[in-house]
Amino acid sequence: MSVTSNALLRHITIDACLRDTAHKYTLQDLIAACTRAVKENSKTRLKDNFSVSTRTVQLDLQMMRDKKKGYNAPIVVYEQKYYKYSDPTYSIGNANVKQTTLTPLSELTETLERYSGMAGMESLEGAVELIRECLENKVNGSFQKIRRQKNPKASGGAFLDVVKDAVLHRRVLSLSYVDDKSNIREIIFYPLYLTTYQMRWFCLGYVDGREGIQVVQTDCVTSYSYAILPFPPNYRFNAEEYFADIIGITHPAEKKEDIHLNVQGVMARYLIQNPLHPSQKLTGKSDDGSCTFRISVIPNDEFFRWYYENHPYVRIESPKLLADSAANYIRNVVADLPSPMTEDLRPKKEKEKEKDSRKKKKQHPDVEEDLFSSLF
């Protein structure tokens, strides 16, 4: 194991000890812990009497405290004997990564990028892009700016790279794009965050003249130019807060609701294995395999789209207003369908009555149907 790897391993080990509030670690305890870690992770067998030196651990503690070269760790000594963090929530894993620390990874990325252009090495392109985006996010601040789902073939359109660059470097864009009604729109856009959802790329940010975060589908952008406008320093985006209470990407200005769903058949088993939202709870299970779930979300367009696509295997039990609204929408859609498509949507009793009638007619083909029986 290299000297650099040993140092990082010792820092991680010391960090774990100082975060362990159940034990008190002296300098000798830290030395013993670092020695065990180095022995366990060494590629070559070390001597039985091998030990990390006292001086080495003291320098590690000093380096971890250092604000410029280290992690600015709040390490304190209490009772002149034991080491711990003054902030119990601190960890070097949460510390900001400095540009100097990222230099070796940047050099590796450039090497991989050169190899990705060779025949048979095209698959490296995805890895290079992911590493580069991670580096740019770290260098440009603590807030994540690009989120990628496991979807390498997501559609982003011809101007995805332009939007991505604007997000990372906070550049204002003048965009022309096609909206949901196929109209061409012209906007001044301040892009803050880029994400994929259901095989497409979306950019979230502010638009001149509109309130709140707006969503732009990148493959709907038809042209762009850079606006000569400053990017307001107060324009920030917290992805964790934004996505916490929604399914998908749109965030309506409404309150979160506890939605109770009755789910049947295979769909119930699917939701148990693949929760619709982190807040999902299984609240009941029937003998026929149907389940009831509770999710706490803001009902947005993506939620309703998922609901309509999976109806009638999924039904909203409460809140009643939401259930009635969804049911009315489905009834209106069904009413507009051609009759052959709605034939199987008739009430069960009506279909059974017609089935019995056809059965009787087959059993007694010579008996003429009384056309006036329904009048008496």
What is each CA distance from 368 to 15, 353, 362, 372, in whole angstroms?
Answer: 91, 18, 12, 12
Range among 18-22, 28-32, 115-119 rated most confident: 28-32
Q: Which residues contact 314 (CB under 8 A, 6 or more apart)?
A: 261, 262, 263, 264, 267, 307
Concatenating the DSSP letter of every residue in 337-353 gives: S-HHHHGGGS-HHHHHH
Model pLDDT, residue 140? 52
Does residue 78 or residue 115 have the better pLDDT? 78
Q: How many CB atoms lie within 10 A of CB 80?
A: 5
Encoding tokens for residue 330? Answer: 């489905």
- Cα–Cα dist 274/282, whole Å: 12
Answer yes or no: are the C-beta atoms of 91 and 15 closer than 8 Å. yes
What pTM was computed for the model? 0.51
Residue 307 has pLDDT above 70, yes or no: yes
Query: Residue 252 region, left (φ>0) first, then alpha (ψ -120 to 50), else beta?
Result: beta
- Cα–Cα dist 57/30, whole Å: 7
**Percentage of residues of the chain with pLDDT beyond 90:** 1
* Total residue length of the chain: 376
Buried b / exposed e over 206-229, threshold 16 CB at 10 Å, is bbeeeeebbbbbbbbbeebeebee
H-helix or E-strand spanning residue 271: helix 265-273
pLDDT tens digits for 85-110?
A: 888 788 877 665 555 555 666 666 66
